[in-house]
Structure 1
């Protein structure tokens, strides 16, 4: 059984066939999905989906760095209310994105720290977005993230950056998405060195379609391609990688008994 540790099936791109997408995933062995919010509205939508699909979909609540300028005291108060619901298993997705720079760096950093505070207060893991911002993310986690746990979602950095993430944040794991299935990056080397108890797989759907799919839209079922690539790199079977990554997701997000997946 596979876990898609990061999918945005609440988005409008799944509006026409969302239930079919969820059912295809379940029938294909993807029995757990984490849907992180990117702003208040999507956090509310993710929670609603989780409530409609108990034990299958779980929600994260947070504000993506692209939307960090929307993070107000009122938004924070509403996120706090959502966080109290049992289907909410994480704070995020939040982080720093210096590639598109849709929000000033200072605002992104302030909102990043506000999310760390929420994660600490509610004892929930962090789902962290990092793009062209590795140094600042690790700096803030050293200063404000001690004792927290979480995931560097869709990890896309170098071996050196991966080693720094793992050593700086002992409670964090790395999650691989579609880019692992493609050429032109160091991700195979990262996937080879990361400890097995600190790795997960995801789609980040509807984005980052993996090979060999030709679809214009990613979906949770396609996480099997990333899992298969990870298995090939590690010299393991798909079933073994599915078990390991699902156990890691269950442990990180407190989804229940890991033995239930075996």
Structure 2
């Protein structure tokens, strides 16, 4: 059985003391591929160092997280665009809109999103979307920007069935399902039960959003097996089938 974690910040300092042990647990749970979303310029060296340690296992992205967008973001994006030219990156991400932490930067976030979507189209890369309290804002942007060159994933999807259908109606998008699906009162279990398996990929968002029974503790990529089992239970199928389908979906998403 092979599982894929399509969204993990395993390069962050929270793993510096025991990263090797974390990877041993990944081996024990069949997690063979881990996709690494970027946050800002400061996170790039640590991310690429991790990739260099095992380039057949770790796959980096390049993008400016919406919570890192502030005045002067254009200079940051210019440097990121140069970095993308090295062709070592599998996606533009994570990018998006975050209306939870700071609504005042919305115009800057919107412009940063437009610019980075342009990169994705130019380079034929998928985008990895961060959407926190911002479905309406992102749908407005995607209505404006969507065409047959745009594809990607809504990472850590926590929306409704109707919002999921709207995402899928754009034609080139998948939905990333993480630990929230295991939370008792999230309601996401009822949504995931209604979603087509061929449009789902699995993720952890480690070190954040650990699934039950680890909720509130540090998340890690091996826990994607818990997410996979929950999705299997919801769809009344086997863990092995979910692993096979979602790993194939990740290959399609990232054109592996």
TM bucket normalised to smaller: over 0.9
Q: Distance in 2 between matches of 1:193 and 1:43?
A: 37
Q: Which residue of 2 aligns with 1:114?
A: 115
Q: Distance in 1 between matches of 2:71 and 2:119?
A: 17
Q: Residue deviations 1:54-97, cap 9 Å, x none?
A: 11000011111111116634322321232234441010001101
Q: 1:77 to 1:158 in 2, by over 3 A?
A: same
Partner secondary structure for residue 173 of structure 1: strand
Q: 1:236 to 1:98 in 2, by over 3 A?
A: same
Q: Distance in 2 between matches of 1:244 and 1:195?
A: 11
Q: Which residue of 1 aligns with 2:155?
A: 153
| Native 8 Å contact 1:68 1:103 kept in 2 | no
Aligned length: 254
Q: Is 1:105 the counterpart of 2:106 in the alignment?
A: yes
| Native 8 Å contact 1:89 1:124 kept in 2 | yes
Q: Which residue of 1 aligns with 2:8?
A: 7
Give unmatched runs, 5+ long, in structure 2: none
For 1:1-262, list aligned pairs within 5 A: 1-69=2-70, 72-101=73-102, 104-147=105-148, 148-167=150-169, 169-213=170-214, 216-255=217-256
| Native 8 Å contact 1:37 1:44 kept in 2 | no
| Native 8 Å contact 2:34 2:59 kept in 1 | yes
Partner secondary structure for residue 104 of structure 1: helix
Q: Distance in 2 between matches of 1:26 and 1:84?
A: 32
- Segment drifting more, 108-117 vs 185-194: 185-194
- Segment drifting more, 66-75 vs 217-226: 66-75
Aligned-pair CA distance for 1:11: 0.8
| Native 8 Å contact 1:50 1:87 kept in 2 | no
TM-score by length of 1: 0.92
Structure 1 vs Structure 2 CA RMSD:
1.6
Aligned-pair CA distance for 1:115: 1.1
Q: Distance in 2 between matches of 1:53 and 1:159?
A: 38
Aligned-pair CA distance for 1:190: 2.0
Q: 1:71 to 1:218 in 2, by over 3 A?
A: farther
